[in-house]
Chain A
Amino acid sequence: MLSDLLFRIRALFRRKSVETELDEELRFHLHRQFEKYVQSGLSREEATRRARIEFGGVEQAKEECRDARGVRILETLFQDVRYGLRMLRKNPGFTAIVVLTLGLGIGANTAVFGLANAIFFNPLPTVQDPNRLMVVHEGLPDGSCCLVPPKSYLELSGDGQLFAQTAAYTWAEATLPGDPLPERVEAANVSQNFFSMFGARFALGRDFFPEEFQPGRSVAILSYGFWQSHFGANRGVIGRPLRLGDREATIVGVVASDFDFPIGAQLWMPLALSAQDGNQTSKGQLHVLAMLHSGLDEKRARPEAAALAARLEKDYSATRQRLTLELHPFRSQINGNLTPLFTMTLMGAAAFLLLIACTNVANLLLARGLSRKREITLRTALGAKPTRVVRQLLTETALMATLGMLVGLALAKIGLVLLASGMPAETARQIAGWERLGLDRTSLLFGTLVTVMVALVSGVVPAVQTSSPKLIECLRGTGATSSSGPSQLRSVFVCAQVSLALILLTGAGLMIKGLANMLGDARSYGPKTLLTVHVDLRGSRYEDPQKRKAFFNQVIERFEGMPGVVSASVFTTPPLSNGETMWWEFTISGKPAREHEHHAMLQTVSRSFFRAVGLNLLEGRGFTEGDRESSIPVAIISEKLAKMYWPGESPIGQHIKLGSPNSDQPWLTVVGVVNNVEYDWTDNAPEKAIYVPYRQSPPVFTYLAVRTNGDAHKLAASIGHELASIDPVLTASDARTLERLLFGSLGGLFEIGGLMTVLGMIGLCVAVVGVYGVMGYVVGQRTQELGIRMVLGASRRAVLRHVLGHGIWLTLIGVGVGLTGAIVLTRLVSSFFFGVEPTDAVTFLTVTLLLAFAAFVACYIPARQAMKVDPMVALRHE
């Protein structure tokens, strides 16, 4: 095989000498034969003639020798490429459209794949075998879930059957000295094995030593970003002390920049489990991760996990009954539950775009195949085999696909850069893999594969169609007007394009409508002028609720005294925040319920809150100065909750309490009803909410907010100073406007929405160009026929109607198919529509009209041209 290949290659590169040798060999043969005839007594002329006749066609023999030597395959490839490039240069317009269409398709797919690869397929590149890395959740029948108590964790780590390695972590709060207030640092306490399980590498220093996991040892490892921002990337930090609140830790290492877990952690400290902790079974507190043994996967590990759960359950007797252990692939958990669906949706949308691009290119190639019919017929008549012609045409497609790939990769690169820079930094920090977003090797490989596929998908059918013309017809010149096979195929392609574009646009439209709703909601809270600070009152200084209440009283008083402040308020959950909502079980007096039946969101607020975010009192009263710890405990409920539990009657004066019927929480008297707020955007409806005044139950974590009457940003610094003057060691975030806070949690969504919009618009453009191209071509092909129609008395309007009718008919079929597809497919991604039904009539109608209008224009322009055809010119067309 190898020698065969070498032979071919040698023949190829030494083509000249091989050719001369062949020439000489055959000439020798002729000469020898000639000599033979001369010797046998023939005249020289006769001998030459006989030898020539006997030999047959010299050129033909040479050709067959070349074939036999196997040079041809490579040689014709070069020929085809050269010829192909010439053809591309000859039709720059056509080439540009095809290359651009393919470029958009390939680019969109590569960019989306790059995104999916960074945040979903491979969010933590350091992990050796991400398929085996699992998140372990412990669940109880009461629905409490996920965190694992230390004793279970120790049992799990001791189980060598299922897991090759386990690790645990908890979030820890830490502060650095700062001005005016201490700076909050995201820290995590991590177990042994933690770094090694993730395959994390260290830029400086080392992992924790086993003895450092004893309680009382204080060491820390820094994240790369933290090292850069707080230590100026100083290589001498190892061994230095780090002041954390009232403790001190020695820096022992800095991890490499590609490790970021738990996401957003700035420093890691050892998780010290005391013997006492080791017996702790009642309260889950650890996030547990485990690496399965090689060869195991999630499914096969499940029965073993169940057996392990049964064993734990026996150990724990009363405290944790009917305990379950769940294994979830780390990959789908790391960036939240929505990420898999999110990436699949985008990849699906990009695939649709690619299909549209492919059909478009196939169509253009078919159309051009027809106009090249003469050329190809001639080649066939001169002896080119159909396979040879197909190869030539495919080479041309491959060339254009390659150019398209270059354009596509450039577009993907630009797209990814825009995407990366568009994400707010606070959000980007929360997404594993985001900082590695870019065109890496895997994405490049993917782009190349897509290109090969595209070249085959869009090239094969037109090439085969084009390569087998009806010889006689074409040579006679009548072939150009025949409208059989290819034209039907083109019509099918047009329909397919329209329907694919419609599906894509519908998905994008529904998503945009949902996002627009949400944005409208967000606007109604006046987010630009509401400045917020998050404070954390954990710790001994604020253990007494009275102290917390006093703190809030003071803050509100001081803030309201600041120039430029309209009002100050306190609340525990900002609107439209993801995952920060606090859900509570509650009980209604006089309405017995099963356990865990009623849930609502609890929001602790100051009385100024409702006005600050524009909530209206629908019934009853708001909180007043008179609602204090000594007066009766009161609550205000949301309209949704009121309608649900007191339909048709007034909830004012009713009693509810937090927790189950036998909880020791006080009964709250409902004094008012306010309209609904969407707190958690991950579900599609506003929440049932219970509001209580902070004076009656002062919260630990809370937002402080001021409504300003000017530029909120100007006040940010003074707010910090004001807080520092109240409590110089307060743990508080930087002051941010509600707008930034919201955009922080919604930023990712807007990126999805933006991407879908871009994909949808590209899809629309490509499809419309496709329709236009085909209609224009049809008109061009039918010029003669239209001319005859006009000569025979058809009015120009009739011709217009005729041509337009054809296009509209195709569009309508496409729309019909597309609507059916859209109804089926949009259901799958309905979680991205945020309060919009997947069958939303307005969106369907708008999108259909938009597409139909665009398609109409694309048909109308060629149809008008048809109308302007001069019958006499048309008749002389051929």
Chain B
Amino acid sequence: MGEGRIDLPQGTLDLLILRTLALEPQHGWAISERIQQISSDVLRVQQGSLYPALHRLERRGWIKARWGTSENNRRAKYYELTKSGRRQLEAGKDAWEKLTAAVGQVLGTA
């Protein structure tokens, strides 16, 4: 891995995927590109964990998949957020904010 990049804490990847998909349906490659882009190259998603995560989320019913045509005219598997996925995203975001605020507080006062 390059410098300036950090490993994702456990469970965060799911949240990032859900957040990315909240904007519009995307295929796997675009999801990883988007995360990398938005995080200004700090977060880089390993392919080896991206796809298992997508399949896991699909099994849980938070996202669903359908085949579509990509920007370069190839068949690609697009994922989109389901209703329960959206709820999960809200809940995950709340929890995340609480966590970071708390961790920040502890680190700030230490």
Interfacial residues, chain A to chain B (CB-CB below 8 A):
3-4, 7-8, 21-22, 24-26, 28-29, 31-33, 35, 54-57, 60-61, 64-65, 67-70
- Nearest opposing residue in chain A for B32, CB measure: A29
A64 & B52 in contact (Cβ 8 Å cutoff) = yes
A26-B51, A32-B29, A33-B29 known; A68 vs B56 contact (CB < 8 Å): yes
CA distance A29 to B48 in the complex (A): 12
B34 within 8 Å of A by Cβ? Answer: no
Q: Which of B28, B61, B72 contacts A3 (CB 8 A)?
A: B61
Residues of B within 8 A of A31 (CB): 74
B51 & A25 in contact (Cβ 8 Å cutoff) = yes
B74 & A28 in contact (Cβ 8 Å cutoff) = yes
A35 & B72 in contact (Cβ 8 Å cutoff) = yes
CA distance A3 to B46 in the complex (A): 28
In the complex, how many angstroms separate the beta carbon of A63 from the nearest chain B beta carbon? 9
In the complex, how many angstroms separate the beta carbon of B70 from the nearest chain A beta carbon? 7
Instruction: Give chain B interface residues in 24-74, CB to chain A under 8 Å.
Output: 27-29, 46-49, 51-56, 58-61, 67, 70, 72, 74
B48 & A60 in contact (Cβ 8 Å cutoff) = yes
B59 & A68 in contact (Cβ 8 Å cutoff) = yes
In the complex, how many angstroms separate the beta carbon of B107 from the nearest chain A beta carbon? 33
CA distance A61 to B52 in the complex (A): 7
In the complex, how many angstroms separate the beta carbon of A27 from the nearest chain B beta carbon? 10
CA distance A25 to B27 in the complex (A): 9
Q: Which of B55, B59, B72 contacts A32 (CB 8 A)?
A: B72
Interface of A is mostly: helix
B29 & A29 in contact (Cβ 8 Å cutoff) = yes
CA distance A31 to B29 in the complex (A): 10
B16 within 8 Å of A by Cβ? Answer: no
In the complex, how many angstroms separate the beta carbon of B50 from the nearest chain A beta carbon? 8
B72 & A65 in contact (Cβ 8 Å cutoff) = no
A68-B59, A69-B59 known; A28 vs B51 contact (CB < 8 Å): no
CA distance A806 to B51 in the complex (A): 59
For the complex of A and B, the 3 pairs showing the least CB-CB separation, nearest first, are A68-B55, A68-B56, A64-B52
Instruction: Give chain B interface residues in 62-103, CB to chain A under 8 Å.
Output: 67, 70, 72, 74-77
Interfacial residues, chain B to chain A (CB-CB below 8 A):
27-29, 46-49, 51-56, 58-61, 67, 70, 72, 74-77
- Nearest opposing residue in chain B for A56, CB measure: B48
B72 & A61 in contact (Cβ 8 Å cutoff) = no
CA distance A457 to B57 in the complex (A): 38
In the complex, how many angstroms separate the beta carbon of B88 from the nearest chain A beta carbon? 14
B47 & A21 in contact (Cβ 8 Å cutoff) = no
Q: Which of A8, A28, A33 contacts B70 (CB 8 A)?
A: A28
A56-B48, A69-B59 known; A28 vs B53 contact (CB < 8 Å): no
Q: Which of B27, B48, B55, B76 contacts A69 (CB 8 A)?
A: B55
Q: Which of A3, A7, A57 contacts B48 (CB 8 A)?
A: A57
Residues of B within 8 A of A4 (CB): 59-61
CA distance A70 to B72 in the complex (A): 32
In the complex, how many angstroms separate the beta carbon of B14 from the nearest chain A beta carbon? 11
B75 & A28 in contact (Cβ 8 Å cutoff) = yes
Q: A21-B77, A70-B59 are in contact. List 14 more A-B contacts (CB 8 A).
A: A4-B60, A7-B61, A22-B51, A26-B47, A26-B51, A28-B75, A28-B76, A29-B27, A31-B74, A55-B47, A56-B47, A64-B51, A65-B55, A69-B59
Q: Which of A29, A60, A67, A70 contacts B28 (CB 8 A)?
A: A29
26 A-B pairs within 8 Å (CB atoms) are namely A4-B59, A4-B60, A7-B58, A7-B61, A8-B59, A22-B51, A24-B77, A26-B47, A28-B75, A28-B76, A29-B47, A31-B74, A32-B72, A35-B72, A56-B46, A56-B48, A60-B48, A61-B48, A61-B52, A64-B49, A64-B51, A65-B51, A68-B55, A68-B59, A69-B55, A69-B56
In the complex, how many angstroms separate the beta carbon of A194 from the nearest chain B beta carbon? 61
A25-B28, A56-B46 known; A65 vs B52 contact (CB < 8 Å): yes
CA distance A2 to B22 in the complex (A): 25
Residues of B within 8 A of A68 (CB): 52-56, 59
Residues of A within 8 A of B72 (CB): 32, 35
Residues of B within 8 A of A3 (CB): 61
Residues of B within 8 A of A70 (CB): 59
Residues of A within 8 A of B67 (CB): 21
CA distance A31 to B73 in the complex (A): 12
A28-B29, A29-B28 known; A61 vs B60 contact (CB < 8 Å): no
A4-B59, A64-B52, A65-B51 known; A28 vs B77 contact (CB < 8 Å): yes
In the complex, how many angstroms separate the beta carbon of A575 from the nearest chain B beta carbon? 78
CA distance A57 to B49 in the complex (A): 11
Residues of B within 8 A of A35 (CB): 72
Residues of A within 8 A of B51 (CB): 22, 25-26, 29, 61, 64-65
Residues of A within 8 A of B61 (CB): 3-4, 7
CA distance A163 to B67 in the complex (A): 72
CA distance A523 to B59 in the complex (A): 78
Interface centre among A25, A60, A61 (most CB of B within 10 A): A25
CA distance A825 to B110 in the complex (A): 70
B70 & A32 in contact (Cβ 8 Å cutoff) = yes
Residues of A within 8 A of B53 (CB): 68
Residues of A within 8 A of B77 (CB): 21, 24-25, 28
Residues of B within 8 A of A67 (CB): 52
- Nearest opposing residue in chain A for B60, CB measure: A4
CA distance A546 to B28 in the complex (A): 113
In the complex, how many angstroms separate the beta carbon of B25 from the nearest chain A beta carbon? 14
Interface centre among A7, A21, A32, A67 (most CB of B within 10 A): A32
B47 & A61 in contact (Cβ 8 Å cutoff) = yes
- Nearest opposing residue in chain B for A63, CB measure: B52
- Nearest opposing residue in chain A for B27, CB measure: A28
In the complex, how many angstroms separate the beta carbon of A715 from the nearest chain B beta carbon? 85
CA distance A400 to B59 in the complex (A): 34
CA distance A64 to B48 in the complex (A): 8
